[in-house]
Structure 1
């Protein structure tokens, strides 16, 4: 599901009121205790052991222990760590290092140029509930056209089991996205859709019109503008439905500067991992093995990254 919206970008920045597209989506890790208890009680197939804790928590100590256990769940984390894998040499099967994307050199040749963004991995370590998860993945970016910017969105759904990776690699999200002189803003969010009444919407996202990503032009596209309101309305409505659970949400401003805490724009893969703290992952201890297509620990090639994460790819657009 895709579309475009034309915000008054300059005015928004000038007044300091810039909001992310998914700002109103509240992930489960942001819930207070009362809202969290109500949400967990609504989730069909919620983890059996955790459910017992919810049912049996009577005393204050029991409740504290229960919420302590819940807070440790991978899907409760609101922090993200970002990694970067550079373009590999053609034909090479050597393991590739992973870096923080603020430590790489920006590719200034992408300034005022066009790029493609594709989804290469969607990994579920643990999501609320059991069995196979129906995950709606939502993306947004700002497309630079002439002297203005338009926000473009794209949503797709995948079925993924616990500790498994979705059967997706190279899935087109935005094709020909226009990069400005300052870089590009990119957002992502995931919603675990459990409500059976919403399955028809997920089926619509899997239909042919939504299978090829959003192709963009170098000029504004008013024909697709009305669909953004619908797209975002559907995404936000699903996120608030009783059994549906927003799990991840992140924002990346990819730029060409040298500020140490910024994130640079370059061709390659970017990892967005949902983690309990900013120091949970030491990227130098992990590598990408192109021979098996997986991120593994340097010391143990059978140990995979124990977090929910997705990987998107940035490449140069070729007309």
Structure 2
């Protein structure tokens, strides 16, 4: 299902956001954005305080082998690429998913979708993988190194894929989401060296589930990112290399990576001064060698 940052809850009108929050029973968040008797202007002043309302993306890089308990988190846009990865095959996995705050009360059920294209013998095949997880505000989802794409062929121009997260509040979708808990989906999308028509039904199932979930009014897209990993040495693209990429949902332009670190013990991005996890939603995606 095609998507963009414009489909995120944070990109919708104030009236639509308030209607959504009321519908899912999060009156506390709705009142915070627009207190009873408040105006649309008041909503605008408060909206930026909600991390789920931000639509920007920041990308940090965590080295594959941290040398200390607090490892450096670098700006992924300033790193040099590794040209030896051209024509290689890699594994992409979801290492961590930190939920600082999502709409709704209690435990959040979240659907994650990842899409892209794999180059195989001069042809392209669709990559699409979806998984579900749960988390409460201020905690990590129950995900540790979940495989997404196995055996992605790195072209001469690198690789590119998109991801999005969906806040699932409709109880009617439980049976649909159960399909994503089958063995095949838990093991990731294994790609072969040749284009395989047999993959299409698998990809189609993921697509149909996500499309159905997005049609329900109680479900909303929260985060969207488009990640291009290539071999260009410039300040506007992310370099392809082995390691972990932290995809942070944030609009803050006054960002200082020097103040952050990866806490190896807690498996969190933390503020060095306070030791606390950064107050943003983020995913950590790992690019590693693929072994046949």
TM tier, shorter chain? over 0.9
User: Which SS does the other structure have where 1:300 is aligned?
Assistant: coil
Residue of structure 2 in register with 1:310 after alignment: 283
Residue of structure 1 in register with 2:51 after alignment: 74
Residue of structure 2 in register with 1:48 after alignment: 28
User: Which SS does the other structure have where 2:285 is aligned?
Assistant: strand
Query: 1-side partners of 2:199 and 2:273: how far apart?
Result: 49
Shift of 1:127: 0.4
1:232 aligns with 2:213: no
User: Which SS does the other structure have where 1:318 is aligned?
Assistant: coil
Where do 5+ consecutive residues of structure 1 fail to align?
A: 1-19
Query: 2-side partners of 1:53 and 1:93: how far apart?
Result: 41
Shift of 1:150: 1.8
Q: TM-score, structure 2 length as denominator?
A: 0.93
Q: Deviations over 1:159-204 (max 9, x none)?
A: 1001010121111111111111100002110001000101112222
Shift of 1:93: 3.5
Query: 2-side partners of 1:192 and 1:87: how far apart?
Result: 30
Query: 2-side partners of 1:87 and 1:315: how far apart?
Result: 8
User: Which SS does the other structure have where 2:80 is aligned?
Assistant: coil
Where do 5+ consecutive residues of structure 2 fail to align?
A: none
Query: 2-side partners of 1:199 and 1:262: how far apart?
Result: 38
Aligned partner of 2:7 among 23, 26, 35: 26
User: Which SS does the other structure have where 2:98 is aligned?
Assistant: strand
1:147 aligns with 2:122: yes
Residue of structure 2 in register with 1:300 after alignment: 274
CA RMSD of aligned residues (A): 2.0
Aligned residues: 292
Residue of structure 2 in register with 1:35 after alignment: 16
Query: 2-side partners of 1:206 and 1:226: how far apart?
Result: 16
Shift of 1:39: 2.2
Q: 1:260 to 1:211 in 2, by over 3 A?
A: same
Tell whether the 8 Å contact from 2:34 to 2:42 is kept in structure 1 after alignment: no
Query: 1-side partners of 2:32 and 2:63: how far apart?
Result: 45
1:157 aligns with 2:164: no
Query: 2-side partners of 1:23 and 1:50: how far apart?
Result: 24
Residue of structure 1 in register with 2:108 after alignment: 133
Q: 1:112 to 1:100 in 2, by over 3 A?
A: same
Shift of 1:136: 0.4
Q: 1:49 to 1:183 in 2, by over 3 A?
A: closer
Query: 2-side partners of 1:264 and 1:251: how far apart?
Result: 14
